[in-house]
Chain A
Amino acid sequence: MIAAYNEQDVIEPVVRDVQQLWPNVVVVDDGSTDATFDAAGREAKFVLRHVINRGQGAALQTGIEYALRKGAQYIVTFDADGQHRPEDIAAMIEPIADGRCAITLGSRFLGRRAVNLPWTRRVMLRLAVLFTRVVNRMPLTDAHNGLRCFSREAAMRITITADRMAHASELIDLTRRTHLPYQEVPVEIRYTSYSLAKGQSSLEALRILFHYVMARISR
């Protein structure tokens, strides 16, 4: 499933590429102000729309719930901006299909090299990983990778309640709490100039941290 916010330029080719390999694509338009919904509707098999923007975490949750309703056995979250490769999806599902784990998390640091990764972004990611190791007690090499796969059982156990982007860290937390086996899978991230422009600034990262801490305190 693909959560999208104002991605009218790239959503069609992204969905098309994925659907060639995996025909059941669910797109959730998170209250986009551009023509994302229409563009997605031209390609995707299932399209949902949030009437107002609720954040990526909420959009993912909507997509996951919808997929579960439709009887999905495996749910893969995939970014709308073309950073992910559809070819990596198979590698995400395989360990779960084999019964080795219930959740797979894509990692750009395992094995393969990220393509065109600027050093500033690399440092921010390393810090995020350190944060995850210390706070979530889960050793992950890539804490902010949107490419993830959940078995049906895992998806049902996870409820994303975080607002805005804080869901990335909360998702790691929830994964740990399910006590279901998980595995990191090497994937490749394509850093095009488009996706880099949309990426998180350092200020965004601070805001995410704040929201995450608040969620932890007020649980």
Chain B
Amino acid sequence: MTGFQIFLLVFFGMVLIGSVVTLARGVSPKLSLVTMIVSLAACGATIRPDATTDLARMVGIQRGTDLILYCTVLVMMVGFFLFYLRLRALRRELTEVVRHVAMSEAVERPDGAAHREPRDTEPRNRGSET
């Protein structure tokens, strides 16, 4: 095995162990499971690169590298989409907070537009705050 392969193996191995631990602890189970599977596959592909070609042929693709490429793009697209959904949910929650603050600090003038400051004095107050 080349040095680079060892480095990759160590890296993927650490990710694998980390994901197993997180899974065992019950933290983000779905994400941990996916990470575990992906890092396991990555370890396998590092040790036996030719195995990817066998796998690829099974699904009708000529080269193992092509299979890895397609899978990577697929995983990336799905991953980004899921993060986008999370981001949207976060934005929505943020708006809820901003709305709550806006409501509780609403300014109301009991006499409406009739209460108007003369133009040439300092506008000291905008009317009574509720």
Chain A interface, >50% SS class: mixed
- Does the CB pair B98–A51 fall under 8 Å? yes
User: B residues touching A (Cβ–Cβ < 8 Å)?
Assistant: 84-85, 88, 91-92, 94-95, 98-99, 101-103, 105-109, 112-113, 116-117, 123, 126-127
- Does the CB pair A45–B102 fall under 8 Å? no
> Separation in Å of the B37 CB from the closest CB of chain A?
25
Flag A33-65 by CB within 8 Å of B: 1 or 0 each. 000001001111111111110100010011001
The residue of chain B having its C-beta at the shortest distance from the C-beta of A218 within the complex is B85
* Residues of the B chain whose Cβ atoms lie less than 8 Å from the Cβ of A65: 99, 103
* Residues of the B chain whose Cβ atoms lie less than 8 Å from the Cβ of A43: 113, 116
How far, in angstroms, from A156 to B127 measured CA to CA in the complex? 29
A88 interfacial contact with B, CB 8 Å: no
Best-surrounded residue of A20, A24, A54 (most CB of chain B within 10 A): A54
| Sample of 16 more A-B contacts, CB < 8 Å, known A42-B117, A46-B106 | A15-B113, A19-B113, A38-B126, A41-B127, A44-B109, A47-B126, A48-B102, A48-B106, A50-B98, A52-B98, A54-B94, A61-B99, A65-B103, A163-B88, A163-B91, A214-B88
Given A42-B117, A163-B88, A218-B85, A51 contacting B112 (CB threshold 8 A): no
Best-surrounded residue of B84, B98, B102, B126 (most CB of chain A within 10 A): B102
Given A41-B107, A49-B105, A52-B98, A23 contacting B113 (CB threshold 8 A): yes
How far, in angstroms, from A144 to B95 measured CA to CA in the complex? 23
- Does the CB pair B117–A45 fall under 8 Å? no
Best-surrounded residue of A15, A24, A46 (most CB of chain B within 10 A): A46
- Does the CB pair B88–A45 fall under 8 Å? no
How far, in angstroms, from A47 to B112 measured CA to CA in the complex? 11
- Does the CB pair B95–A66 fall under 8 Å? no
* Residues of the A chain whose Cβ atoms lie less than 8 Å from the Cβ of B123: 38, 42
